[in-house]
Amino acid sequence: MFDSQINFGLEDDHPHEECGVIGVFAPNEDVARMTFFGLYALQHRGQEAAGIAVADGQTISMHKGVGLVSQVFTSNTMAELKGHYAIGHTRYSTTGSSLLRNAQPFMIETIHGPLALAHNGNLVNSMELRNELMQHGIGLSSSSDTEVMTMMLARNGGASWEERIKTAMKKWVGAYSLVILTRDCVYAVRDPWGFRPLCIGLLPSGGHAVASETGALQTLGCEAIRDVKPGEVVSLSNNALKVMQALPSVEPSAMCVFEHIYFARPDQTWDGINVHQLRQRLGEELAREISIKMGNDVGDVVIPVPDSSVPAAIGFSHVSGIPYNDGFIKNRYVGRTFIEPTDSLRKRGVALKFNVIHENVLDKRVVMIDDSIVRGNTMGPLVKLLKNAGAKEVHVAITCPPIAHPCFMGVDMGRHEDLIAHKRTVDQICDHVGADSLYYLSIEGMMRAVGREDGFCQACFTGQYPIQVDLSNVKTGFERGAKS
CATH code for position 79 = 3.60.20.10
- Cα–Cα–Cα angle for 305, 258, 12, rounded to 5 degrees: 40
Mean pLDDT of 93-111: 75
The predicted structure's pLDDT at residue 96: 35
**Distance, CA of 438 to CA of 396 (rounded, Å):** 5
Mean pLDDT of 408-428: 90
Lowest-pLDDT range of 94-103, 110-119, 419-428: 94-103
Question: What single DSSP character describes residue 248?
Answer: P
Q: Are residues 297 and 243 in the same domain?
A: no
Lowest-pLDDT range of 136-140, 348-352, 452-456: 348-352
Q: Are residues 207 and 324 in the same domain?
A: no
Q: Are residues 418 and 356 in the same domain?
A: yes
Q: Are residues 167 and 299 in the same domain?
A: no
pLDDT, mean over the chain = 89
Residue 381's SS3 state is helix
Mean pLDDT of 193-204: 96
Residues in Cβ contact with 313 at an 8 Å cutoff, skipping those fewer than 6 apart: 283, 302, 303, 304, 324, 369
Q: Are residues 237 and 346 in the same domain?
A: no
Q: Are residues 235 and 129 in the same domain?
A: yes
Q: Which is it for the CA torsion 376, 379, 385, 389, positive or negative? A: negative
Question: What single DSSP character describes residue 127?
Answer: H
Name residue 381's amino acid: P
CATH number, domain with residue 363 = 3.40.50.2020
Mean pLDDT of 307-328: 96
Residues in Cβ contact with 114 at an 8 Å cutoff, skipping those fewer than 6 apart: 55, 59, 60, 107, 108, 182, 183
Is 240 domain-assigned? yes
Q: Are residues 237 and 342 in the same domain?
A: no
Is 222 assigned a catalytic role? no
Is 477 domain-assigned? no
Q: Checking DSSP bridges between strand 255-256 and strand 301-304, what pairing results, if any?
A: unpaired
- Which of the four pLDDT bands, split at 50, 70 and 90, describes residue 469? confident
Count CB-CB contacts under 10 A for residue 239: 9
Q: Are residues 328 and 420 in the same domain?
A: yes
Helix (H) or strand (E) holding 134: helix 126-135
Is 138 domain-assigned? yes
Count CB-CB contacts under 10 A for residue 75: 7
Q: What is the pLDDT of residues 381-411, one digit of tens each?
A: 999 999 999 999 999 999 999 999 999 988 8
The predicted structure's pLDDT at residue 338: 56
- Which of the four pLDDT bands, split at 50, 70 and 90, describes residue 479? very low
- Cα distances (angstroms) measured from residue 66 to each of 3, 39, 71: 7, 14, 8
Mean pLDDT of 74-96: 85
Residue 400: domain span: 277-452
**Distance, CA of 182 to CA of 85 (rounded, Å):** 8
Is 178 domain-assigned? yes
> Is the bond preceding 304 in cis, omega lying within 30 degrees of 0?
no
The predicted structure's pLDDT at residue 340: 60
Q: Within the chain, how many helices (H) and strands (E) appear? A: 18, 25
Is 50 exceeded by the pLDDT of residue 483? no
Catalytic member of 19, 185, 256, 460: 19
Q: Are residues 155 and 232 in the same domain?
A: yes
Q: Are residues 137 and 219 in the same domain?
A: yes
Which residue among 254, 285, 318 closes a domain?
254
Which residue among 219, 254, 289 closes a domain?
254
370 near 7, Cβ under 8 Å?
Answer: no
- Cα–Cα–Cα angle for 380, 383, 389, rounded to 5 degrees: 140
Count the domains in the chain: 2
Q: What is the dihedral of CA 315, 380, 478, 470, to 10 degrees?
A: -70
Residues in Cβ contact with 378 at an 8 Å cutoff, skipping those fewer than 6 apart: 12, 13, 350
Is 80 exceeded by the pLDDT of residue 117? yes
Is 76 domain-assigned? yes
**Distance, CA of 150 to CA of 169 (rounded, Å):** 12
The predicted structure's pLDDT at residue 305: 95
Is 2 domain-assigned? no
Is 337 domain-assigned? yes
Is 64 domain-assigned? yes
Q: Are residues 131 and 72 in the same domain?
A: yes
Q: What is the pLDDT of residues 346-363, one digit of tens each?
A: 667 788 889 999 999 999
The predicted structure's pLDDT at residue 478: 39
Q: What is the dihedral of CA 62, 65, 70, 73, to 10 degrees?
A: -30
- Cα distances (angstroms) measured from residue 400 to each of 7, 80, 428, 458: 27, 46, 18, 10
The predicted structure's pLDDT at residue 210: 98
**Distance, CA of 356 to CA of 358 (rounded, Å):** 6
> Is the bond preceding 418 in cis, omega lying within 30 degrees of 0?
no
Residues in Cβ contact with 355 at an 8 Å cutoff, skipping those fewer than 6 apart: 328, 329, 331
Is 60 exceeded by the pLDDT of residue 474? no
Q: Are residues 221 and 352 in the same domain?
A: no
